[in-house]
Each structure stands twice: as structure tokens, then as C-alpha cells.
Amino acid sequence: MLTEFLKTYLIKAYSFHLLDCLGLPCTFGMFETMTSAFVDEFPDLLANRKVLFTAVMCFIEFLLGVPCVMQGGVYILQIMDWYCATFSLMLLCLAECIAIAWIYGADRFYKDLELMIGYQPSVWWKICWCFYFSGDDNGTHFCKNSNMNDYVQL
């Protein structure tokens, strides 16, 4: 009885520690990226008020998160999970691969990467950007799952 009790609390403590070590730093990283992008885009307005802007953004995100912890929050969270993290994310990744490889150009992107990291990446990456990621991976997924009912959960 005591061992089951201790095991339950150890699992809870481990889960909280995992959330603390993995979840929060990712959230802080995404939040800092968003605030830095706004400050870089509007430097005249926000450069001297970054702390105030960060506080306002935290408050806005708090207000956006309040419905998720209310009584119907599990349904809102389910809707966000279905429509924000599945099929639309795959389409966004496909559009990004096509834009980088075929519109901006894989050769130009390859040279930009070389300038940023200091050495030329493997040719394998250029092949993946042009053909595998934008064509094979997403294309075969669409061909195998041509029925939209696979993506929409009713």
C-alpha cells in the first residue's frame, strides 16, 4: 500500500520535473522569438519599451489561455489540437519546402547556409529540399490518404 502511494507521487514528481525541464524552456524560446520579431519589426515604437511590451504580450497570452482552463476548456483544446496541429501543419510545412526549394531557390538557400554556418552543407540536403521533402514525403502521404475523412475527426 505504501509503495503504491510512493510510486504514484514519484511519477507525479517526475512528470512535473519533465514539464519543467522540457516544456517551459520551449515556451520561453518561442515567446522570446515572437517578442524579438515584433521589436525588430517596429524598433522606433518598441525598442525602448521591450519590458512593457513583454508584459503586455504575457497578459494577452494569459487572456487567450483562460478559456482553455474553464469548464469547456477541454473542448477548446481539442479543437485547437485537431485544426492547428495536424493537417494544417503538414500543409504549412509543404508550402515552406516548396517556397524555399523552388521559389527562393535551393542554390541561393544553400549559399546562404554556407554564409551563416561557415561551411558548405552536404549535397544530400539540397536533394531533400528539392525532391524528397517537397515531393515524396508529402506527395506519397496525400496519395495514400486521399480520403479527407482520414484528416477530419467527427
Q: Hey, what's the cell of 94? A: 509543404
Name the percent of the chain lying above pLDDT 70.
Answer: 83
pTM of the model: 0.52
DSSP-H helix ranges across the chain: 2-18, 24-41, 43-46, 50-65, 73-84, 87-98, 106-117, 123-127, 138-144
pLDDT tens track for 75-109: 998 888 887 777 777 788 788 888 888 888 888 88
The better pLDDT of the pair 49, 24 is held by 49
* pLDDT of the residue at 99: 85
